[in-house]
Amino acid sequence: MNCWLVIDLRANRFAAAILTLASGKTSWQPQKVRIYPLRDIYNDVTETDLTFYRQPDEKNWIPTLRSSIGDLPKDFEIIPALLDEPAVRLQTLLTRNFATLLKDLLKEYQDIPLLFLIDRDHIQTLLVDFASKAHRKSLIYLAPDQMGDIEGFALLDPGRINLPTEESIVSCVVEINGNGVETRYYRWSHHHFKQVKMETTSLSPQSKWDSAASLQRAGLAMFSLVWQERLVVPVENEINLLEQENNTCTQIIYHMQRLLKQLGQVQSLNGI
Amino acid sequence: MSEVYLGIDLGTTTTLIAKANEDEGRIIVKVLNIPQKDGKQGKVNLNYLPSVAYLSPNGEFKVGLEAQMIGPEENPSRLVRAIKRQMGRSLILREVNCLPFEISALYIEKALTEGRLQLPMGEMVFTVTVPASFTSNQRADTLLALQKACEKAGITYPKQDEGLLFISEPVAAMLAFLNKELEHPETVRRLDFTKTNRVVIYDIGGGTLDLTMVFIEPSKNQVQSLADLRINVDSIGYYNPFGGEDFDRVLAEELYKRLMDQNPDLNEVILTPSQRLGIRLQLMNAAKKIKEALSKLMSQNDDAGFLDDIEENPSHYYRDSIRIVDKIYSLEGEITVSQYKEIVKDLVNGGSRKSLVIPLSDLLQKNHLDPAMLDGLLIVGGMGRLPLVEETLRTYWGNDNVWLYNPPDHAVVTGAAIYSLLRRHYSGFTLQEPAADAYYVRLKDRFDMILPSKSILGEVKEYTLDQDADRILLQLFAGEEPEGSTPIESIYHTLIHQGGTWVPLGKVCKKNTPVWIQMRYESDEGQDHTKVPWVYVWVEKHSEENAFKYRYSEFVQEAHHE
């Protein structure tokens, strides 16, 4: 069983969760951080923008929502999107503001390694620096642009070594904010998942998720920690196989083209 | 019909609602959003409701953030806050013409109504939290609030579940903590589930400091879920109306002095009591904000590894405005962390019950224990965010087994939702919790104990009328229990009046006519967590048929009526 504090920084947002990987049982616990959606009014949330403000004469930045910055007094200093800040400022700002967001979690989950999910390359060194200041082992994963419906990986048992069988389906129940729940199905085909619609099914959903965002985040985390490594060999094998098939096809095409050419010559002789 | 499991934390400063789900043996809890008006034109989604009510000029109650924002400026005398401290008292809040439980009902109603909109259809199974040290009339008042809230929200009041509708706040917090522990791999856990653990829960919220010591025993060799644990409440601290509001009050007093120093002309202004109250409320709001800002500065030690520019004595520059008789005054200045610590020092290390350490050391002393004999101290409640609290308790406790639940203000509501699910799904789950107090009846010249704290069935006590009468005044008190051979008089100072009612005798009874009184919890299973007992009275003849029977909630209602 191993445990990770997953920090998702994609799209200039922040979300944290504890991921516990165990055979037959994966646990995903979204964690709360305190933000101030209105000046002086707090809220504890599982997901927020990387947006901050501070009043004049203050050193500390306060986390808030991007939609709230218009309501702040004019003399307040604002960081609308932290990761868009110029590199020269970002180094200091990132350390200070991540410390604000994460210190309670780092204190509660001592010795648990960090997994950062990112979508921009240039912050990698800053995160390595942050993790070393936090005295934590860390992994940084630059999320791929396209990997199918990656949330399907959250529904696999990490204790199972083999990949799913071709065309198999996994399912779960996801809460849709304020609108009840929906059952989702993912089909495994050609080494990636694709969400599919199913009218009726005998499959009973395997797990419940508090939101689609949590499911997607957990899928990405599981993919980076477990499944991408397990996919390497089968994908390589398939490439080899396809290449072999391709070679065979190329040879066949070559022979057939030669044959066609010869057939053409016969036709022309007949025409004389 | 499917069931929806909810928990409601009816706190002094905030009210929260959460729901629990079960997924492959795990219990997952979500604290629900409560959308609120922000006092201007907008709406905001917060996962708590400030426990504040304001009676607007059109006679309509506003609750939560909207009340907090507009009340202090519009008409502070119609703003009600910290009503939980008044629960169980037979008083009418004059400016809003309400009883305390009616205000609490507004918060529960709002939480239930908003919660229902976000949940699938189904039977709502809910649990409301109360301080472990709440006496029966405070609990009875909370039941009344719940009944009224259900009625107004159009939800059927679960009469058949009444004995299980409450859970003590510290016990709920412990359930939340244990649920989290069970999610973690053993290497990360703080408790060892192969043995019995004895833990103190230190619940410090906005208005109440509530202490409870529990035993947590495994009921199976391999503990895999909460249902595999037995939780027995061992000891409960005394009722202590002490919390964040007290810290805000002392800081508000300091701010008032500063305001007067900066604006000497204010000394000439003659204020009505309502205007004075308005200033006090505005200063309390300002104090609360300053406390939050200072909390962040105090926790900078945790940032020490990350930042190079840690200040030794950081300060916060506050800027606010106070409206006094239609004129706006600026409240502006600087306050350092060490100044703040000096202002609140009596609340931190003072020698009274209204301080952080004394109630805890009293509880341990009462049980002849010291921290080294216990497995840990769990801090929960909103005030846990003030680093001074954890720092002070760590120093007192003297070892590393001090844990702060994160976020500390979600522990209680999380545990309440878990309890709703457990009590429906796991009949084997046991939670034993005695009442915090013993109960006494007032006689002509003394008090007599009729229900000891750890008992669910009091003895039938016999008394005689001291004069001819056609009715008797039954007055009940709750308080500590004398230890060993200590005389009962030694605990008289702890007794709190619970209410009283006239019991009609139906005719004039002669002097020396026997009267029997008994107090008991109706559930024989020891699971009546409402801790609202029944009172039985017999005159002349002792048999079940001729008893006058009062539930505490009715009893208190009559007391309110009187």
Mean pLDDT computed over every residue of chain B: 87
Residue B301 CA from chain centroid, whole number? 31
Q: Please report, for chain B, the start and end positions of each structural domain, with discontinuous segments joined by +.
A: 3-168, 173-242+351-432, 244-346, 438-561
Whether residue B181 has pLDDT greater than 60:
yes
pLDDT at B33: 92
Whether residue B479 has pLDDT greater than 60:
yes
DSSP A227: I
Token reading at A156: 């696999």
Q: Which CATH architecture has domain B438-561?
A: Sandwich (2.60)
Can you tell me the mean pLDDT for B405-418? 95
Q: Which CATH code fits A2-142?
A: 3.30.420
What is the distance in angstroms between the Cα of A121 and the nearest Cα belonging to chain B? 22
Whether residue B156 has pLDDT greater than 90:
no
Instruction: Say how far apart CA B528 and CA B524 lie, in whole Å.
Output: 8
- B24-55 tens-digit pLDDT: 778 999 999 999 998 887 889 999 999 999 99
Instruction: Say how far apart CA B510 and CA B336 lie, in whole Å.
Output: 71
Residue of B13, B21, B23, B386 to mutate for A, most A C-beta atoms under 10 A: B23
Instruction: Say how far apart CA B191 and CA B175 lie, in whole Å.
Output: 13
- A59-106 tens-digit pLDDT: 889 999 999 898 888 999 999 999 999 998 998 899 989 988 998 899
- May I ask the CATH class of domain B173-242+351-432? alpha beta
Angstrom CA distances, A37 to A34, A108, A123, B38, B73, stand at 10, 24, 26, 11, 22
- B512-560 tens-digit pLDDT: 999 889 888 776 455 566 777 888 888 877 776 667 776 665 555 444 4
pLDDT at B488: 83
DSSP B32: P
pLDDT at B273: 81
Confidence of residue A175 (pLDDT cuts 50, 70, 90): confident
- Residue numbers of A between 212 and 271 with CB closer than 8 Å to B: none
pTM of the model: 0.86
Whether residue B212 has pLDDT greater than 60:
yes
**Out of A29, A58, A112, closest to residue B317 by CB:** A58
pLDDT at B308: 67
- A212-239 tens-digit pLDDT: 999 999 999 999 999 988 888 788 888 8
Share of chain B above pLDDT 90, in %: 43
Using CA atoms in the order B419, B377, B11, B175, what is the torsion angle rounded to 10 degrees?
-10
Q: Please report, for chain A, the start and end positions of each structural domain, with discontinuous segments joined by +.
A: 2-142, 150-223
Confidence of residue A200 (pLDDT cuts 50, 70, 90): low
CB contact under 8 A, B296 and A100: yes
Cis before B452 (ω within 30): no
CA nearest to B287, candidates B330, B338, B252: B252
The residue among A169 and B531 whose pLDDT is bigger is A169
What is the distance in angstroms between the Cα of B133 and the nearest Cα belonging to chain A? 28
Kind of pairing between the strands at B166-168 and B123-130:
parallel
Whether residue B561 has pLDDT greater than 60:
no
CB contact under 8 A, A40 and B65: no
Assigned CATH topology for domain B244-346: Actin; Chain A, domain 4 (3.90.640)
- May I ask the CATH class of domain B3-168? alpha beta
Confidence of residue A52 (pLDDT cuts 50, 70, 90): very high
CB contact under 8 A, A22 and B185: yes
Q: Are B80 and B93 in contact (CB under 8 A)?
A: yes
pLDDT at B558: 47
Q: Are A206 and A155 in contact (CB under 8 A)?
A: yes
Q: How many C-alpha atoms does B187 have within 13 Å on its Cβ side?
A: 8
Whether residue A178 has pLDDT greater than 70:
no
CB contact under 8 A, A45 and B47: yes
pLDDT at B562: 37
| 3-state secondary structure at position A218 | helix
User: Is there a shared CATH topology between the B3-168 domain and the B173-242+351-432 domain?
Assistant: yes
Q: Are A36 and A61 in contact (CB under 8 A)?
A: no
pLDDT at B309: 67
Residue B125 CA from chain centroid, whole number? 21
Instruction: Say how far apart CA B531 and CA B143 lie, in whole Å.
Output: 11
The residue among B108 and B425 whose pLDDT is bigger is B108
What is the distance in angstroms between the Cα of B327 and the nearest Cα belonging to chain A? 21
Q: Are B396 and B371 in contact (CB under 8 A)?
A: yes
Question: Which chain A residues contact residue B299 at CB under 8 A?
Answer: 103
Share of chain A above pLDDT 90, in %: 51
Mean pLDDT comparison of A77-91, B264-278, B292-306, highest-scoring range: A77-91
How many residues does this entry show for chain A? 272
| 3-state secondary structure at position A161 | coil
Q: Which residues pair with A17 in a beta bridge?
A: A6, A30
